[in-house]
Amino acid sequence: MTTTWIAAHRSAVINPHETFRLFEPRAFHDQTVRQSLRLAGGGEALRIRLSNRYGKEPLLIGGAHLAVRTDGSRVDPSSDTPLRFTGAETVTVPVGAEIVSDPVELPASAGEELTVSLYLPGDTGPTTYSAIPYDIGHAVRGDQLSAEVLEDAEELTTGHFLAGVDVLAPAGTRIAVAFGDSWIEGAATTPGTDNNFPAQLSRRLTRGWIVNQGISGNRLLTDEVGERLLARLDQDVLAVPGVSHVLIHIGLNDLGLPGAQSHPEPPADLPTAADLTAGLTALADRLHAAGLIAVGATLGPYEGTIYDGVDTPEGQAVRGEVNDWLRGPDHPFDAVVDIAAAVADPDRPSRIRAEFNSGDGLHVNDAGAKAIADAVDPTLLDL
């Protein structure tokens, strides 16, 4: 059987040097960082991707291990495997680069939890990181790559350097990339459960799977929390091996963050509906030019959010116009998922339904993510 490398896990990364920050950057020195992930699909072997995309200095990795996770920072010691990079156990990742480990001959299956441990002997500087990792990570002093459990470890609520996993799967295996903002990434869903809506939808698919390239706070049109969606398309979608479909939710931060930044003044630099529809059209056109299926989504409700300045009459008006366009006949997508309708309060559709509200009025909880996944016809992602 012919096989090929296919993405089985992704974690979109952020520049720690951005001026507007939803998450505080951090650095490591003489520490072991252990982070977990769950595979969306399986294969005969796997390889790990590490990123120094936004680092200011070369990143020295003094060792890296892969293991099967049991719970917390604990791993199955019988599965502990050193990773190598072109045969070496240590590697330096250049500024702006991403590296791929040598293949590990470890059969892997969908839903399997793995742990990647990195020993970082030098000062990393502010790290290339992800906002919402699969689960809480752990850091301890010194080289503890082979430790079964990291005792008295610091907990990490953001992910660091770990950009993805590829698996060696049958040729022709196709996947979807979920691409967008916090509603894609899964902010406010329970860590360690993989209950963001793309993951819950992925488990409903009978062929292929979905990998997640969401960034909380991301915008369609403006570089701020992560590069704007149109700017990161090449790296975070087109370069993903095996991609055939793209599922998109984007635009809420284009409408909400200007008000948060100018609060209590009227929103600064608020895009018009024409700005957003033009950006979404450009996105769909580029995906189609690459031969991919583009599935859009209506913008989720957020009236009454607890975050100052995010919910404004001006932003809500633009959201309504964009959603009307997405529900109509003139949008450029191959299909549109009505995310807003799936989780809206029936008595006030601009708000999240109470049982789906995470508590902040802007994000859905696990049940809300399931409602969105259940609202998607899996045949739209007939991989």
Q: Which of 207, 182, 215 has its CA nearest to residue 197? A: 182
Rounded alpha-carbon distances, angstroms, from residue 326 to 8, 57, 70: 30, 43, 43
Compute CA distances 18 → 223, 235, 364, whole Å.
9, 19, 26
Model confidence band, residue 101 (pLDDT cutoffs 50, 70, 90): very high
Q: How far are the Cα atoms of 161, 199, 219 from residue 137, in angstroms, in the given order?
A: 12, 19, 26
Q: Which two tokens stand for residue 140?
A: 């301890």
State how far the alpha carbon of 109 is from the alpha carbons of 3, 167, 234, 302, in Å: 15, 9, 28, 37
What's phi and psi for 80, nearest 5 deg?
Answer: -60, 125
For the residues 5-19, what does the mean pLDDT come to?
94
Chain center to CA of 90? 27
> What CATH fold (topology level) applies to the domain 174-381?
Rossmann fold (3.40.50)
- Mean pLDDT across 32-59: 97
pLDDT in tens, 167-205: 999 999 999 999 999 999 999 999 999 999 999 999 999
pLDDT at 242: 97
**Residue 260's pLDDT band (cuts 50, 70, 90):** confident
| pLDDT interval class at 21 (50, 70, 90) | confident
DSSP assignment of 31-71 equals: EEEEEEEE-SS-BS-EEEEEE-TT-SS-EEE-EEEEEEEEE
pLDDT at res. 98: 97
The pLDDT tens digits of the residues spanning 129-163 come to 999 999 999 999 999 999 999 999 999 999 999 99
pLDDT the model gives residue 169: 96
